[in-house]
Amino acid sequence: MAVPMPVTPMLLNIDESRAVEALRELAQKLDGAPCEVVLDFSSVQRVDSSVIDALADLARIANKNDKATKLVLRNVNVNVYKVLKLVKLTGRFAFVS
Amino acid sequence: MSVSEAVDERIRISSIPEPPSPERIAYLENLVGHARTAAAVFTQYSQQDVDRIVRAMVLAGLAQAQHLARLAVEETRLGVMEDKVIKNMVACEFVYNFVKDKRTVGVIREFPERNLEEIAEPIGVLFSITPITNPTSTVLFKCIVAIKTRNAVVFGPHPKAWRCCAEAVRIMYEAAVKHGAPEGVFSCIESPTIPDNVYLMHHKDVGMIDATGGPGAVKAAYSSGKPALGVGPGNTPVYLEKSADLNAAVVDILVSKTFDNGTICASEQTVVIDDEIYDAALAKFSELGAHVCNEQETKLLARTVIDPQTGVMQPMAVGQKATDIARFVGLNVKPGTKLLIAPIRGVGREHPLSVEKLFPVLAVYRAKSMDEALKVCVDVNHAGGLGHTAVIFSRNDAVIHKFGELINAGRILVNSPGSIGALGGVYNDLVPTFSFGCGTGGGNSTTDNVNIYHYLNVKRLARRTQNHMWFRVPNQIYFNLNAVENLRQFPSRSTVIVTSAVLEQVGHVDVVRRHLAPETRVHVLVIPDAEPENKVIRQGVETLNAYHADQIVALGGGSVIDAAKIMKLKYESPDADLEELAAPFLDLRKRVVQYPTEKAHGSRLIAISTTSGTGSEVTPFAVLTDKERGRKVTLADYSLTPDVAIVDPQFVMSMPKSLTADTGIDCLTHALEAGVSNYASPYTDSNAMQAIRLAFKYLPVAYENPGDQEARSMMHNAACIAGMAFSNASVGVNHALAHALGARFGVPHGRANALMLPHVIAYNAAVPAKFMPSPYTQGYVAHKKYATVADLLGLGGNTVEEKVQNLIRATERLLDRLEFPRSIAELGISKSEFERALPEMVQSAFEDPSWRSNPRMPLMNELVELFWKAYEGRAIAEEEELVEQTV
């Protein structure tokens, strides 16, 4: 029986003013190795369509890696959560508060 | 919308179109995908955000009104550029004026008196079809309404008007995004096709279709399975009534029918003119630039502008000038002629010009009478105009109302132009729109002028309301020994004493007679001491009528008092239908049947109770036995409540022991059931608790020492007080079970109550298998209220459970002291007989209205179980004690 590799969570605070850039940079860094990325949305009050596109891309890339990458969104406010629900992205992330 | 659209769409949509190519699907998916994201992002916007964007869009639309009008005329070859400028401006300015102060985000309306709030929820993505006749104005309107309501729109314009529409969408989109709207909020299909429309109408991410166009588009929208707003064609009848201001009416009609060359579907189609003003009206039309066709010209016109095969207008005429149509037809008209007027003699296929004509041709009809005029208007309305628009010019309010009642149109305009009037906000206070709902007559879901509220899901936040409750009892209650003396203060010319033979024999009637006011003529009506029958009631009413009674004194137990209540009801309201008045109800305040309020004689009912149990002297209930149909009829209404109650213990001093026990337990059951009822209130609780306390203390004394005046007096008071409690809080499942048991096996009511009582307390105190819906109570409290009773009685116990057990024990001890049979079996009813009767009893108990206020909703199997417990007579408390000892 294979022993699962230890996974080190990576924490990233998302600043609303440069959320898109941060998410794009993160997408480039994902190399397929098992990892857990925690994106802290505490300071994000509102998202626009470019942030949604970036999150969708990130989820797509993480999914490609045989689901080895776990994406966690932390402290997402309920308005933003509803937006993600409407664009059907909530299933692609884990949510913690 | 034009006939070409209508015909084209009917043909094209009725055949199943080929699906779009993969490339086209990718294109459409891209539009919807962006719209979906935009709509999601839009949910975060505040009212201020939205209002700022709307204002910027409106200004952009106003600035480009002329540009868009020119594009629309160039592309469609329909209408008048100058008029389209006005339409574009109305679409911006008038619509803005209506929406600017309206709340469309968050809480949009509040109804504090109803504890209600309405909260807006956007629809999301709309697919919007726009017409060829009003292309840019419709787009401007829909963009403003969509942004105001935080929705995204994919536009599907008419294929022959898509360029001007795309430009209008671009102008609105750029202004919106520049001021903060989400990207992708609007898009417009380029080179649209029917397959595109069909694809988007079925797209999972499209929340609603808003189809403004011909019947084909509307039908397709409604057939898609999506929520849809579909608004279509009309055929506006106009009644020019003889009292009208003729000059103003003719000008209004000319303004309207020539506006944008008649392309607005609300414009006038057939004007029905009263005979008296017909010639003058036509002369006025001529004077102001219309050409009135002669018979030959009318025939020529009809043959040319109406398709003889389909009976609908020819596409080539739509939106064209009157002079151009005249030239094409071959009519010789003056230069500058604004309108062609064609007299017709009827409506229908034989009269081709009676249909919708979206060009400056107007049919006129000479009506010999108002009746004929209205009939012709109805005919026009039904010839393709149902639900749309109608116009009347008149100063006669009665005629205007008659027209309004007869004509099926969402907009019935009075003394104003049809086309511009229907748009709303210009000539009247209708909601500004470019989308006219035509109701079911037009195959639409609304008759409204479509606007912001049709683009919202309105959510209702309904807070729990504290329903009104009540506490109603007789005006006057006299109690304690010799309270009967108070009769003297009630003046009466003619009093009928309703009583039983026994009470007359023991001299109670004489006591009453002695205390009536002097000069009162008295008649005694002796009735059987049993639940009253119809025959008894009839006799009673005859007696009351014969003696012109102004006062009824009911002297007796529950049955006699009930009889007197019903006699009074029928005496005062002879037409009262007892059968109907007994109709079942859930909530007294919402019951379907209302008791009569007219009183023929204004008589007074004084109830003097001679038992201490039913409380009938203060209750609004009366039971009637319908022997002919073999059933009981329960009447319940506060109008049945006696006006005066006299609670004088001298009338109960000689009650037999068994009657003392039976009626006393009835009193206790009333109080206990009212105490835990879902209708209980602080007012009824105070009565219920006091009655319980008195019954526990004095009932055994009155039973064991019948001559104890204090005990008799207190039990008499207890019965009355319990009566007041259950008059307002009702009873419960114990009574339902007891009624069924009593009816089946002839068990006296109090005894039947006693057999059920300990089991029902245990049942109500347990966690219900099914809770009873109750707006009056907060949480389940029956067990706690029983515990409160135990505390009041000083029964001890540390927990609610212990206290409930102690109450059950105390109840059982009381029943033992009263020497009640403790099981149904003890009544001599065999198990097999009981088993056979059980289904019927359960059914009867379940149909009994008494349990509707019970705190726990009784299930059928629970009723069975309760009956079996009562049959076997398990002493609950002792049984549990035994179990505890065994453990």
Sheet architecture: strand order including B152-157: B186-188, B152-157, B125-130, B208-212, B228-231
* Total Cβ atoms within 10 A of residue B647: 27
Residue of B nearest to A53 (CA): B37
Do B818 and B664 meet the contact criterion of CB atoms below 8 Å apart?
A: yes
Are B44 and A46 a contacting pair at CB < 8 A? Answer: yes
Contacts of A87 in chain B (CB under 8 A): 36-37, 40
Within B587-640, strands assigned E span 604-609, 621-626, 631-636
Taking an 8 Å cut-off on Cβ atoms, the answer to whether B183 and A47 are in contact is no
CB contact under 8 A, B40 and A83: yes
Token digits of residue B437? 């709902």
How remote is the C-alpha of B627 from its chain's centroid?
Answer: 38
Q: Are B493 and B524 in contact (CB under 8 A)?
A: no
pLDDT of the residue at B231: 78
Q: Is B265 a catalytic residue?
A: yes
Other C-beta atoms closer than 10 Å to the C-beta of B66 total 15
**Nearest Cβ partner for A79 among B44, B124, B182:** B44
DSSP type of residue B94: I
Closest CA to B410 of B229, B533, B200: B229
Contacts of A49 in chain B (CB under 8 A): 34, 37-38, 41, 182-184
A interface with B, Cβ–Cβ < 8 A, is 46-50, 52-53, 79-80, 82-84, 86-87
Question: Is the Cβ pair B36, A87 closer than 8 Å?
Answer: yes
Q: How far is A78 from chain B (nearest CA, A)?
A: 10
CA-closest candidate to residue B517, choices B544, B546, B486: B486
Q: B221-246 burial by CB neighbour count: b if 16+ within 10 A, else e?
A: bbebebbbbbbbbbbbbbbbbbebeb
Instruction: Measure the CA–CA gap between B288 and B619, rounded to whole angstroms.
Output: 79
With both helix axes pointing from N to C terminus, report the angle between B709-729 and B657-676 in degrees, rounded to the nearest 10: 40
Q: How far apart are CA B86 and CA B99, in angstroms?
A: 19
A52 contacts in chain B (CB < 8 Å): 37, 40-41
Residues in chain A with CB shorter than 8 Å from the CB of B44 are 46-47, 79-80, 83
Chain B residues within 8 A of A48 when measuring between CB atoms: 41, 182-183
Task: Please answer yes or no on whether B41 and A53 come within 8 Å at the CB atom.
Answer: no
CATH classification (class only), A9-96? alpha beta
Q: Which residue of B has its CA nearest to A85?
A: B40
Place of tokens 């009593």: B742
Tens digit of each residue's pLDDT (9 = 90 or more) over B411-443: 999 999 999 999 999 999 999 999 999 999 988
Q: What is the DSSP string of B445-496?
A: S--SB--GGGGEEEEEEEPPP---------SEEEESTTGGGGGGGS--SEEE
Q: Is A83–B184 a contact, with Cβ atoms under 8 angstroms apart?
A: no
B183/A52 CB distance under 8 A: no
Q: Shortest CB distance from A48 goes to which of B34, B41, B43?
A: B41
Interface contacts (A, B; CB < 8 Å): 36
Q: Distance (Å) from the C-alpha of residue B44 to the closest C-alpha of chain A?
A: 6
Quick one: angle between helices B749-765 and B860-872, nearest 10?
A: 120
CB contact under 8 A, A86 and B39: yes
β-sheet with B107-111: strand ranges across:
B107-111, B116-122, B456-462
Give the residue among A12, A13, A40, A27 at the shortest CA–CA distance from A69: A27
Domains of chain B in sequence order: 30-231 (3.40.605.10), 236-427 (3.40.309.10), 470-651 (3.40.50.1970), 656-665+677-887 (1.20.1090.10)
Which of B675, B638, B674, B587 shows the shortest CA–CA distance to B474? B638
Beta bridge partners of B117: B110, B461
Token readout for B636 is 């319940």
Closest CA to B266 of B61, B95, B438, B506: B438
Q: State how beta strands B116-122 and B107-111 pair.
A: antiparallel
Residues of chain B with pLDDT under 70: 1-17, 630, 874-887
CB contact under 8 A, A80 and B182: no
Give the one of B34, B40, B183 whose C-beta lies nearest to A86's C-beta.
B40
pLDDT along chain A (97 residues), means of 10: 63 95 92 87 96 95 79 96 96 94
From B92, B143, B188, B265, the catalytic residue: B265
Residues of chain B with Cβ-Cβ distance to A53 below 8 Å are 37
Taking contacts as CB-CB distances below 8 angstroms, the residues of chain A near B124 are 86
Contacts of A46 in chain B (CB under 8 A): 44
**Single-letter code of the amino acid located at B722:** A
Position B486 scores a pLDDT of 98
Which among B31, B32, B41, B151 is the top mutation candidate for probing chain A, defined by the most A β-carbons within 10 Å of its own β-carbon? B41
Report d(CA B685, CA B697) in Å as an integer: 18
Measured between beta carbons, the chain A residues lying within 8 angstroms of B37 are 49, 52-53, 87
Q: Are strands B456-462 and B116-122 parallel, antiparallel or unpaired?
A: antiparallel
Cα separation of B735 and B864, whole Å? 15
Amino acid at B785: K
Do the chains contact at B44 and A80, CB–CB below 8 Å? yes
For residue B574, count CB atoms less than 10 angstroms from its CB and return exposed for 0-12, middle for 13-18, buried for 19 or more: exposed
Q: List the structure tokens of B497.
A: 């004493």
Residue B630: the pLDDT is: 66
Q: Is B88 helix (H, G, I), strand (E, B) or coil?
A: helix
Q: Give the closest-approach CA distance of A5 to chain B in angstroms.
A: 37
Pick from B40, B44, B183: which is nearest to A87 by CB?
B40
Q: For the whole model, what pTM was predicted?
A: 0.84
Say yes or no for a CB contact (<8 Å) between A52 and B38. no
Most A-contacting residue of B44, B50, B459 (CB-CB within 10 A), to test interface = B44
Search chain A and give the residue with CA nearest B122.
Answer: A86
Q: Give the side-chain half-sphere CA count within 13 A for B675.
A: 29
**Sign (positive/negative) of CA torsion B50, B54, B55, B57?**
positive
Query: What pLDDT sits at residue A69?
Result: 86
Contact at CB, B184 and A49, closer than 8 angstroms: yes
Contacting residues of B for A47, CB less than 8 Å apart:
41, 44
Q: Would you call A49 and B37 a contact, using CB atoms and an 8 Å cutoff?
A: yes
Q: A44, A83, A85: best mutation site toward chain B, by most B Cβ within 10 Å?
A: A83
Q: Would you call B34 and A49 a contact, using CB atoms and an 8 Å cutoff? A: yes
Average pLDDT, chain A: 89
What's the rounded Cα separation, in Å, for the pair B140 and B57? 9
Interatomic CA distance for residues B109 and A8, integer angstroms: 51
Which token pair is B824? 């149904």
Q: How far is B117 from chain A (nearest CA, A)?
A: 20
Please judge whether B37 and A82 are an interchain contact, meaning their C-beta atoms are less than 8 angstroms apart.
no
